[in-house]
Copies of this chain bind each other. A is one copy, B any other.
Amino acid sequence: MGKRLVVVGGDAAGMSGAAQARRLDPDLDIVALERGTRTSYSACGIPYLVAGDVSDADALVARTPEEFRREHRIDARVRHEVTAIDLDARTVEVRNLEHERTFRLGFDHLLIGTGARPVRPDIPGIASDHVHGVQTLDDGTRLLDVARRSRCRDAVVVGAGYIGLEMAEALHRWGARVALVEAHDHPLARTLDPDMGARLVDLIGAIGIECRFGERVRAIEPDRVVTDAGPARADLVVIGLGVEPEATLAEAAGLDLSVRGSISVDRRQQTSHEGVWAAGDCADTFHRVSQRRVHVALGTVANKTGRVAGVNIGGGHAGFPGVVGTAITKVCGTEVARTGLSTAEAERAGFAVATAVVETTTRAGYHPGAEPMVVKAIAERGTGRMLGLQIVGGQGSAKRIDTAATAITAHLTAADVVELDLAYAPPFSSVWDPVQVAARAVLRSV
């Protein structure tokens, strides 16, 4: 009889880990417990479901419990909630939500992939029926329903993070009058420099989305949202205030916690307890540039860290080297991306910082598809080492962030980036790629 792996949470991190462990260890008994109704779905796809880009919720499901059972011999059970972890006894307490029955399950390995929960501040009216979160696929289908009904004429999105921006686009495309309310002065305030944020505000405003930045929500009423600057009509409110790690179970079990209450893990994704692993949005991770522990709730990290945990559980050896802080999104035709450290993050991490902003185009200037593109490069003064890059621009601009993410990972300097052999043809780029134009500009002040 093989050992047993119990997976808590049936989404990206947990199920990547389970599938990887299965690949390495065919004898492992694997039980995956998910309190919701679905496994392994793309939470990042929810805004596109709501926007109507994706035909139906099932399209976002990468693998059903049946597929996990059939193709991977993983006993994946939905509507099963783990309610407690006993580290000494090496058991979990499980509640079958269908049959209201509780049982215990022993484990040799435990993989915690409990994800994150949306931040819900204590605002009067936030629990009303017309206030929606965008966390689960069920949230998404409910929202799609509401958006489709043309009753909804006025929508307020609270929070201009990635999900907030994507939801503002989705509702705008359904024809709603959308106001975006954000306490900070600009969108993506935690990750984008203020000057780049200001450019994004201009572009979002030009789409026809009302930008109400620097306003705090005081109350949500049946037909409006009241901020400290006044009311905004709203028969639909979407809350996109970010997430925090869901580590309640881990904390109660006595596992060490880390930044923002995430579960502390090592390079192998092992928690403070031998044979107990955590991955994805519930765990902390390492930032390769600041060299600090951070909490990053992104699908890419969940997939990668889940896979690393799975390799180690399956008897292999893998380490997750960390993130460099890459993120990307779009609002209608405007794309935005960032990687590395922002100016403020770099300064907090102890770097002396040089920056440069360049205005360029996505293609050769004379090519009809060329759109404006602004790039900000952040480098270390003295060494010239690339620390960060930010992009706001038209179609085809943002994914170039990968060039910078790769350069930053490899510790390249701005001079190295200028010398890179990047692809050029008029429909794809200017002859000096915009990332190189920015690197050349920052060179002058390092």
Give the B-binding residues of A (Cβ under 8 A): 12, 42, 44-45, 48, 53-55, 59-60, 162, 166, 288, 298-301, 303-304, 320-330, 337, 339, 364, 366-368, 396, 398-403, 405-407, 409-410, 412, 416, 419-429, 431-433, 435
Contact = CB atoms under 8 A, between A and B. Distances in A.
A337 B433 CA distance: 15
A428 B397 CA distance: 11
Given A326-B423, A399-B396, A421-B323, A431 B42 contact: yes
Given A407-B406, A425-B330, A427-B48, A367 B419 contact: no
Which 8 pairs, one residue from A and one from B, show the smallest C-beta to C-beta distance?
A410-B410, A328-B423, A406-B406, A59-B366, A324-B421, A326-B421, A402-B403, A323-B421
Nearest to A320: B419
Contacts of A303: 431-432
Contacts of A396: 396, 399
Contacts of A322: 421
19 contacts: A42-B431, A45-B364, A55-B366, A288-B421, A300-B431, A322-B421, A323-B421, A328-B428, A339-B423, A399-B399, A401-B423, A402-B402, A402-B403, A403-B406, A406-B412, A407-B410, A409-B416, A409-B420, A410-B410
Contacts of A42: 364, 366, 426, 431
Contacts of A421: 288, 300-301, 322-326, 339, 405, 409
A396 B401 CA distance: 14
A6 to B, nearest CB: 24
A367 B54 contact: yes
Contacts of A435: 402
Which residue among A399, A400, A407, A432 has the maximum number of chain B CB atoms within 10 Å of its CB? A399
A405 B425 contact: no
A399 B429 contact: yes
Contacts of A329: 425
A367 B53 contact: yes
A423 B407 contact: no
A44 B323 CA distance: 37
A347 to B, nearest CB: 21
Given A60-B366, A406-B412, A407-B410, 4 more contacts: A42-B426, A300-B422, A300-B432, A396-B396
A210 B311 CA distance: 49
A304 to B, nearest CB: 7
A331 B366 CA distance: 19
